[in-house]
Amino acid sequence: MPKFEFELMAQLPSHHLPGGRFRNPWPISDGDWRPGGFWRWRLQRMFGGVPGNPPAAAFPRAHPEPAYPHAPAHELRLTWVGQATFLIQLDGLNLLTDPMWSGRSSPLPFAGPARLAPPGLGFDDLPPIDAVLISHDHYDHLDAPTVRRLHRRFGDRIQWLAPLGFAGWLARHGIGRVAERDWWDDVVLDASGGPLRAVALPAQHWCRRTPFAANHRLWVGWALLPATGPRVYFAGDTGYCPAFAEIGERLGPFDMQLLPIGAYEPRWFMQRAHLSPEEAVQAYRDLGGHGALVPMHWGTFRLSDEDPLEPPVRLRRAWEQAGLPVEDLAILRHGETRVLTRRAPRPSR
């Protein structure tokens, strides 16, 4: 590496690269992954075959029960819309994570992974949204038509929270009320119980929306830390990495952990960027092993080779094998709402 670049890097946080790009700063165990892996995977898939898509009716659904216009201040009310989209009603605020209501996870309306099951909560049934949290720029997490719809309906009422590199993209859609954050930086929201801190957190992933620009935007998870009341961790998209233990140490324990469990096959290609259900259980433990595990990122878009109904089955098995309390595993159906009224006591550590 040229000396100049080396000196520049010495001043940057370890996940920043010169030129405004980002990277995962820790060593990654990645099987036999190597450049060109994407095409190897697509070829393997073409000749090896993968399980077919189940019909939409195979995915369990529940009638959503959000509170209108807001949930009471002491309550955490969580509704799973699908993939990484949750309506989180917390401390008197209505928050959305990675909002996605479109029929395809794709830049094109007629091609790309189609929705396996309709959104669990209709867009028109949303209560007034106070903040939107974005984890990264992949199409199943950042959907331009949904972003425009939200802005049309709620305007500057919404505080947009995003990782570094998103303000320009949001501005192109007319959105100016944006807080961009780096890993470990926070945004303070005005909630009924006092200030609610939303902290951008490290994850092991990547960003790219066009063939030309990879990792020019950052990827994050988010912690939601109300002054009182339940604490929530939303992981975004992530592979298994040392960040979980550090997040648990610095900000845990959490009362709800929203962890991705799908898009893991084939492992040699996917494990860098996506947790398997077994790794999600390990991540839950690394994060402090406390509160409910709510799985996400399954049963919505087909992005990988596993049977789309397999992730929750494997998760339940791994949970039982780990001897964790059955009541703490909250596998939500599409549209299902889960309510937590009190913050669990902190375990002695």
Q: Which residue from 302, 310, 347, 346 is spatially nearest to 331, judged by alpha carbons? A: 310
Per-residue interface string for the shown chain with Zn ion, residues 241-260, x marking contact by CB under 5 A? --------------------
CB of 98 to Zn ion, least distance (A): 8
**306 makes contact with Zn ion (CB under 5 A):** no
CB of 136 to Zn ion, least distance (A): 6
**Which CB sits closer to Zn ion, 237 or 265?**
237
**Which CB sits closer to Zn ion, 112 or 127?**
112
Q: Angle, nearest 10°, between helix axes 277-286 and 310-321?
A: 50
Quickly count: other Cβ atoms within 10 Å of residue 149's Cβ. Answer: 17
Q: Calculate Rg over the CA atoms of the chain.
A: 19
**Which CB sits closer to Zn ion, 84 or 126?**
84
CB of 219 to Zn ion, least distance (A): 7
CB of 299 to Zn ion, least distance (A): 13
Per-residue interface string for the shown chain with Zn ion, residues 196-235, x marking contact by CB under 5 A? ----------------------------------------
**130 makes contact with Zn ion (CB under 5 A):** no
**Which CB sits closer to Zn ion, 76 or 170?**
170
Alpha carbon distance 328, 330 (integer Å): 6
Q: In this chain, which of 16, 77, 115, 138 binds Zn ion, going by CB under 5 A?
A: 138
Q: Which residue from 338, 297, 335 is spatially nearest to 136, judged by alpha carbons? A: 297
CB of 274 to Zn ion, least distance (A): 7
Alpha carbon distance 179, 192 (integer Å): 20
Alpha carbon distance 114, 101 (integer Å): 12
Angle at 255 between CA 250 and CA 261, to 5 degrees: 90
Determine phi and psi for 161, rounding to 5 degrees: -115, 125
Alpha carbon distance 332, 346 (integer Å): 24
Q: In this chain, which of 137, 140, 278, 306 binds Zn ion, going by CB under 5 A?
A: 140
Strands 178-181, 159-163: pairing is parallel
**Which CB sits closer to Zn ion, 136 or 290?**
136
Element (H, E) at 186: strand 186-191
**237 makes contact with Zn ion (CB under 5 A):** yes
Point out which span in 18-26, 136-144, 323-331, 333-341 binds Zn ion (CB under 5 A). Answer: 136-144
* Residues near Zn ion (CB under 5 A): 138, 140, 237
